[in-house]
Structure 1
Protein backbone atom coordinates (compact mmCIF):
# COMPACT_ATOMS: atom_id res chain seq x y z
CA UNK A 1 0.00 0.00 0.00
CA UNK A 2 1.36 3.40 -0.99
CA UNK A 3 1.53 5.90 1.86
CA UNK A 4 -0.13 9.32 1.76
CA UNK A 5 3.06 11.29 1.13
CA UNK A 6 3.87 9.14 -1.92
CA UNK A 7 0.32 9.51 -3.24
CA UNK A 8 0.45 13.30 -2.85
CA UNK A 9 3.89 13.40 -4.49
CA UNK A 10 2.87 11.29 -7.50
CA UNK A 11 -0.43 13.08 -8.09
CA UNK A 12 1.07 16.50 -7.40
CA UNK A 13 3.97 16.04 -9.81
CA UNK A 14 1.59 14.69 -12.46
CA UNK A 15 -0.67 17.73 -12.10
CA UNK A 16 2.28 20.13 -12.18
CA UNK A 17 3.93 18.44 -15.19
CA UNK A 18 0.72 18.32 -17.23
CA UNK A 19 -0.10 21.89 -16.24
CA UNK A 20 3.35 23.07 -17.27
CA UNK A 21 2.89 21.62 -20.75
CA UNK A 22 -0.60 23.11 -20.82
CA UNK A 23 0.81 26.52 -19.92
CA UNK A 24 2.76 26.47 -23.18
CA UNK A 25 -0.47 25.80 -25.07
CA UNK A 26 -2.24 28.58 -23.14
CA UNK A 27 0.51 31.09 -23.89
CA UNK A 28 0.26 30.27 -27.60
CA UNK A 29 -3.52 30.74 -27.62
CA UNK A 30 -4.27 27.10 -28.40
CA UNK A 31 -7.61 25.46 -27.63
CA UNK A 32 -6.26 23.37 -24.78
CA UNK A 33 -4.28 24.59 -21.80
CA UNK A 34 -3.05 24.39 -18.25
CA UNK A 35 -6.24 23.12 -16.59
CA UNK A 36 -7.07 20.53 -19.24
CA UNK A 37 -3.60 19.02 -19.52
CA UNK A 38 -3.11 19.19 -15.75
CA UNK A 39 -6.35 17.22 -15.35
CA UNK A 40 -5.37 14.71 -18.05
CA UNK A 41 -2.06 14.05 -16.32
CA UNK A 42 -3.60 13.96 -12.84
CA UNK A 43 -6.39 11.58 -13.84
CA UNK A 44 -4.01 9.26 -15.65
CA UNK A 45 -1.69 9.18 -12.64
CA UNK A 46 -4.65 8.46 -10.37
CA UNK A 47 -5.86 5.44 -12.35
CA UNK A 48 -2.34 4.03 -12.65
CA UNK A 49 -1.77 4.55 -8.94
CA UNK A 50 -5.06 2.81 -8.22
CA UNK A 51 -4.18 -0.13 -10.48
CA UNK A 52 -0.77 -0.45 -8.85
CA UNK A 53 -2.25 -0.63 -5.33
CA UNK A 54 -3.08 -4.29 -5.92
CA UNK A 55 0.49 -5.11 -6.95
CA UNK A 56 3.69 -5.73 -5.09
CA UNK A 57 5.52 -2.48 -4.31
CA UNK A 58 7.55 -1.24 -7.27
CA UNK A 59 6.01 -3.63 -9.81
CA UNK A 60 4.03 -2.63 -12.90
CA UNK A 61 1.51 -5.47 -13.12
CA UNK A 62 -0.58 -6.80 -15.95
CA UNK A 63 -3.60 -4.96 -14.50
CA UNK A 64 -1.71 -1.66 -14.51
CA UNK A 65 -0.56 -2.38 -18.05
CA UNK A 66 -4.17 -2.90 -19.19
CA UNK A 67 -5.23 0.32 -17.48
CA UNK A 68 -2.41 2.22 -19.22
CA UNK A 69 -3.40 0.74 -22.59
CA UNK A 70 -7.03 1.73 -22.08
CA UNK A 71 -6.16 5.25 -20.98
CA UNK A 72 -3.77 5.86 -23.85
CA UNK A 73 -6.27 4.51 -26.36
CA UNK A 74 -9.10 6.58 -24.96
CA UNK A 75 -7.06 9.75 -24.72
CA UNK A 76 -7.01 9.87 -28.51
CA UNK A 77 -10.61 11.05 -28.43
CA UNK A 78 -9.71 14.07 -26.35
CA UNK A 79 -6.73 14.78 -28.59
CA UNK A 80 -8.92 14.54 -31.68
CA UNK A 81 -11.13 17.24 -30.24
CA UNK A 82 -8.38 19.86 -30.52
CA UNK A 83 -7.51 19.09 -34.15
CA UNK A 84 -9.24 21.46 -36.53
CA UNK A 85 -9.23 21.61 -40.31
CA UNK A 86 -9.01 25.20 -41.51
CA UNK A 87 -10.97 26.42 -44.51
CA UNK A 88 -10.97 24.80 -47.92
CA UNK A 89 -7.27 24.12 -47.88
CA UNK A 90 -5.73 20.97 -46.53
CA UNK A 91 -4.34 22.78 -43.52
CA UNK A 92 -4.79 21.02 -40.21
CA UNK A 93 -4.14 22.83 -36.95
CA UNK A 94 -3.93 21.54 -33.42
CA UNK A 95 -1.70 18.53 -33.93
CA UNK A 96 0.86 19.76 -31.40
CA UNK A 97 -1.91 20.34 -28.87
CA UNK A 98 -3.23 16.83 -29.54
CA UNK A 99 0.29 15.46 -29.05
CA UNK A 100 0.44 17.39 -25.77
CA UNK A 101 -2.75 15.64 -24.62
CA UNK A 102 -1.12 12.29 -25.34
CA UNK A 103 2.10 13.42 -23.63
CA UNK A 104 0.19 14.58 -20.54
CA UNK A 105 -1.41 11.13 -20.32
CA UNK A 106 1.98 9.45 -20.69
CA UNK A 107 3.63 11.68 -18.09
CA UNK A 108 0.69 11.01 -15.77
CA UNK A 109 1.21 7.28 -16.26
CA UNK A 110 4.89 7.61 -15.36
CA UNK A 111 4.05 9.73 -12.30
CA UNK A 112 1.41 7.26 -11.15
CA UNK A 113 3.96 4.47 -11.43
CA UNK A 114 6.58 6.57 -9.63
CA UNK A 115 9.22 6.43 -12.37
CA UNK A 116 10.82 9.80 -11.60
CA UNK A 117 13.83 9.65 -13.98
CA UNK A 118 11.42 9.07 -16.89
CA UNK A 119 9.14 11.91 -15.72
CA UNK A 120 11.98 14.42 -15.40
CA UNK A 121 13.71 13.45 -18.65
CA UNK A 122 10.51 13.38 -20.71
CA UNK A 123 9.32 16.69 -19.26
CA UNK A 124 12.63 18.42 -20.03
CA UNK A 125 12.62 17.13 -23.61
CA UNK A 126 8.96 18.10 -24.11
CA UNK A 127 9.49 21.61 -22.78
CA UNK A 128 12.57 22.03 -24.97
CA UNK A 129 10.58 20.96 -28.02
CA UNK A 130 7.68 23.24 -27.17
CA UNK A 131 9.84 26.30 -26.46
CA UNK A 132 12.56 25.91 -29.10
CA UNK A 133 10.93 23.68 -31.72
CA UNK A 134 9.47 26.40 -33.95
CA UNK A 135 12.75 28.35 -34.07
CA UNK A 136 14.77 25.25 -34.87
CA UNK A 137 12.22 24.16 -37.48
CA UNK A 138 12.25 27.58 -39.19
CA UNK A 139 16.07 27.62 -39.20
CA UNK A 140 16.21 24.11 -40.69
CA UNK A 141 13.69 25.05 -43.38
CA UNK A 142 15.73 28.13 -44.33
CA UNK A 143 18.99 26.20 -44.25
CA UNK A 144 17.77 23.14 -46.12
CA UNK A 145 15.41 24.97 -48.47
CA UNK A 146 12.17 23.34 -47.30
CA UNK A 147 8.76 24.91 -47.28
CA UNK A 148 8.30 26.95 -44.08
CA UNK A 149 4.96 25.69 -42.78
CA UNK A 150 5.58 25.88 -39.06
CA UNK A 151 2.47 26.33 -37.06
CA UNK A 152 0.71 24.27 -34.49
Structure 2
Protein backbone atom coordinates (compact mmCIF):
# COMPACT_ATOMS: atom_id res chain seq x y z
CA UNK A 1 0.00 0.00 0.00
CA UNK A 2 1.44 3.36 -0.97
CA UNK A 3 1.55 6.21 1.50
CA UNK A 4 -1.08 8.02 -0.64
CA UNK A 5 -3.44 5.07 -0.17
CA UNK A 6 -2.65 5.04 3.53
CA UNK A 7 -3.54 8.73 3.75
CA UNK A 8 -6.84 8.02 1.98
CA UNK A 9 -7.61 5.26 4.51
CA UNK A 10 -6.66 7.64 7.32
CA UNK A 11 -9.09 10.21 5.92
CA UNK A 12 -11.79 7.52 5.85
CA UNK A 13 -11.04 6.76 9.51
CA UNK A 14 -11.42 10.43 10.42
CA UNK A 15 -14.71 10.68 8.50
CA UNK A 16 -15.94 7.51 10.21
CA UNK A 17 -15.00 8.90 13.63
CA UNK A 18 -16.90 12.11 12.93
CA UNK A 19 -20.02 10.40 11.59
CA UNK A 20 -19.97 7.81 14.39
CA UNK A 21 -19.65 10.61 16.94
CA UNK A 22 -22.58 12.43 15.35
CA UNK A 23 -24.74 9.34 15.73
CA UNK A 24 -23.61 8.79 19.33
CA UNK A 25 -24.05 12.43 20.32
CA UNK A 26 -27.75 12.13 21.15
CA UNK A 27 -27.12 9.01 23.25
CA UNK A 28 -24.28 10.73 25.10
CA UNK A 29 -26.35 13.87 25.64
CA UNK A 30 -29.06 11.83 27.36
CA UNK A 31 -26.72 9.78 29.53
CA UNK A 32 -26.92 6.43 27.75
CA UNK A 33 -24.14 3.89 28.23
CA UNK A 34 -23.20 3.80 24.56
CA UNK A 35 -22.34 7.29 23.37
CA UNK A 36 -19.89 9.18 21.23
CA UNK A 37 -16.91 6.92 21.90
CA UNK A 38 -18.79 3.66 21.34
CA UNK A 39 -20.46 4.76 18.13
CA UNK A 40 -17.24 6.30 16.80
CA UNK A 41 -15.26 3.16 17.55
CA UNK A 42 -17.81 0.93 15.81
CA UNK A 43 -17.87 3.17 12.75
CA UNK A 44 -14.07 3.47 12.61
CA UNK A 45 -13.58 -0.28 13.00
CA UNK A 46 -16.01 -1.10 10.23
CA UNK A 47 -14.46 1.54 7.96
CA UNK A 48 -10.89 0.37 8.43
CA UNK A 49 -11.68 -3.33 8.00
CA UNK A 50 -13.66 -2.58 4.85
CA UNK A 51 -11.02 -0.18 3.49
CA UNK A 52 -8.24 -2.70 3.95
CA UNK A 53 -10.30 -5.49 2.37
CA UNK A 54 -11.19 -3.22 -0.55
CA UNK A 55 -7.49 -2.49 -1.03
CA UNK A 56 -6.93 -6.19 -1.71
CA UNK A 57 -9.04 -5.83 -4.84
CA UNK A 58 -10.75 -9.18 -4.25
CA UNK A 59 -14.54 -8.95 -4.28
CA UNK A 60 -14.83 -12.21 -2.34
CA UNK A 61 -12.53 -10.85 0.39
CA UNK A 62 -14.57 -7.67 0.67
CA UNK A 63 -17.78 -9.70 0.90
CA UNK A 64 -16.34 -11.91 3.64
CA UNK A 65 -15.10 -8.95 5.66
CA UNK A 66 -18.43 -7.11 5.41
CA UNK A 67 -20.34 -10.27 6.32
CA UNK A 68 -18.15 -10.76 9.36
CA UNK A 69 -18.61 -7.14 10.43
CA UNK A 70 -22.37 -7.69 10.35
CA UNK A 71 -22.05 -10.87 12.43
CA UNK A 72 -19.53 -9.37 14.85
CA UNK A 73 -21.58 -6.28 15.53
CA UNK A 74 -24.62 -8.54 15.90
CA UNK A 75 -22.87 -10.27 18.77
CA UNK A 76 -21.94 -6.91 20.28
CA UNK A 77 -25.56 -5.81 19.97
CA UNK A 78 -26.80 -8.99 21.62
CA UNK A 79 -24.58 -8.18 24.59
CA UNK A 80 -26.11 -4.71 24.84
CA UNK A 81 -29.68 -6.02 25.19
CA UNK A 82 -30.81 -6.91 28.68
CA UNK A 83 -34.03 -7.94 30.35
CA UNK A 84 -35.32 -7.00 33.76
CA UNK A 85 -38.50 -7.28 35.83
CA UNK A 86 -38.65 -11.04 35.43
CA UNK A 87 -37.96 -10.87 31.70
CA UNK A 88 -40.92 -8.60 31.02
CA UNK A 89 -38.97 -5.47 30.01
CA UNK A 90 -36.16 -5.24 27.48
CA UNK A 91 -33.48 -2.56 27.56
CA UNK A 92 -30.90 -1.68 24.97
CA UNK A 93 -32.83 -2.56 21.82
CA UNK A 94 -32.47 0.90 20.28
CA UNK A 95 -28.80 1.09 21.22
CA UNK A 96 -28.17 -2.35 19.78
CA UNK A 97 -29.96 -1.54 16.53
CA UNK A 98 -28.24 1.81 16.05
CA UNK A 99 -24.79 0.40 16.85
CA UNK A 100 -25.45 -2.20 14.15
CA UNK A 101 -26.51 0.53 11.71
CA UNK A 102 -23.45 2.59 12.64
CA UNK A 103 -21.27 -0.31 11.55
CA UNK A 104 -23.07 -0.12 8.20
CA UNK A 105 -22.12 3.56 8.00
CA UNK A 106 -18.50 2.55 8.55
CA UNK A 107 -18.75 -0.06 5.79
CA UNK A 108 -20.14 2.52 3.36
CA UNK A 109 -17.24 4.84 4.16
CA UNK A 110 -14.80 1.98 3.61
CA UNK A 111 -16.40 1.42 0.20
CA UNK A 112 -16.17 5.14 -0.73
CA UNK A 113 -19.94 5.68 -0.55
CA UNK A 114 -19.78 9.00 1.34
CA UNK A 115 -23.21 10.36 0.38
CA UNK A 116 -24.88 7.17 1.60
CA UNK A 117 -22.83 7.33 4.81
CA UNK A 118 -23.75 10.98 5.48
CA UNK A 119 -27.41 10.42 4.65
CA UNK A 120 -27.62 7.36 6.87
CA UNK A 121 -25.96 9.28 9.69
CA UNK A 122 -28.62 11.99 9.41
CA UNK A 123 -31.41 9.40 9.39
CA UNK A 124 -29.99 7.60 12.44
CA UNK A 125 -29.59 10.86 14.36
CA UNK A 126 -33.18 11.76 13.51
CA UNK A 127 -34.38 8.35 14.73
CA UNK A 128 -32.48 8.73 18.01
CA UNK A 129 -33.65 12.32 18.51
CA UNK A 130 -37.31 11.36 17.99
CA UNK A 131 -37.51 9.97 21.51
CA UNK A 132 -37.04 13.45 22.92
CA UNK A 133 -39.46 15.36 20.68
CA UNK A 134 -42.64 16.52 22.48
CA UNK A 135 -44.95 15.50 19.63
CA UNK A 136 -43.43 12.02 19.53
CA UNK A 137 -43.67 11.58 23.30
CA UNK A 138 -47.34 12.64 23.16
CA UNK A 139 -48.06 10.28 20.27
CA UNK A 140 -46.30 7.38 22.00
CA UNK A 141 -48.29 7.92 25.20
CA UNK A 142 -51.52 8.00 23.20
CA UNK A 143 -50.89 4.61 21.61
CA UNK A 144 -49.77 3.00 24.87
CA UNK A 145 -52.66 4.32 26.94
CA UNK A 146 -55.62 3.50 24.76
CA UNK A 147 -57.61 1.97 27.62
CA UNK A 148 -56.80 -1.64 26.78
CA UNK A 149 -54.26 -2.11 29.57
TM-score range, shorter chain: 0.7 to 0.9
Question: Structure 2, unaligned stretches of length 5 or more?
Answer: none
Shift of 1:133: 4.2
Give the equivalent residue in structure 1 for 2:117. 119
Residue pair 2:50, 2:65 contacting (<8 A) in 1 also: yes
- Structure 1: how far apart are the matches of 2:34 and 2:79? 10
Shift of 1:4: 3.5
Question: Structure 1, unaligned stretches of length 5 or more?
Answer: none
- Structure 2: how far apart are the matches of 1:106 and 1:39? 13
* Cα-to-partner distance string for 1:114-152 (whole Å, 9 max, x where unaligned): 10110111011111111124535434335xx4106xxxx
TM-score (normalizing by structure 1): 0.83
- Structure 1: how far apart are the matches of 2:132 and 2:82? 20
Residue pair 1:44, 1:112 contacting (<8 A) in 2 also: yes
- Over 3 Å counting, the alpha-carbon distance change for 1:9 and 1:86 in structure 2 is same
Residue pair 1:110, 1:118 contacting (<8 A) in 2 also: yes
Give the equivalent residue in structure 2 for 1:30. 32
Give the equivalent residue in structure 2 for 1:138. 137
Equivalent runs, 1:82-121 vs 2, <5 Å = 82-88=80-86, 90-121=88-119
1:5 aligns with 2:4: no
TM-score (normalizing by structure 2): 0.84
- Structure 1: how far apart are the matches of 2:43 and 2:86? 35
Shift of 1:34: 1.4
1:128 aligns with 2:112: no
The structure with the largest helix share of the pair is: 2
Q: Report how many aligned residue pairs link the two structures.
A: 142
Supply the RMSD in Å over aligned alpha carbons.
2.0
- Structure 2: how far apart are the matches of 1:89 and 1:51? 41
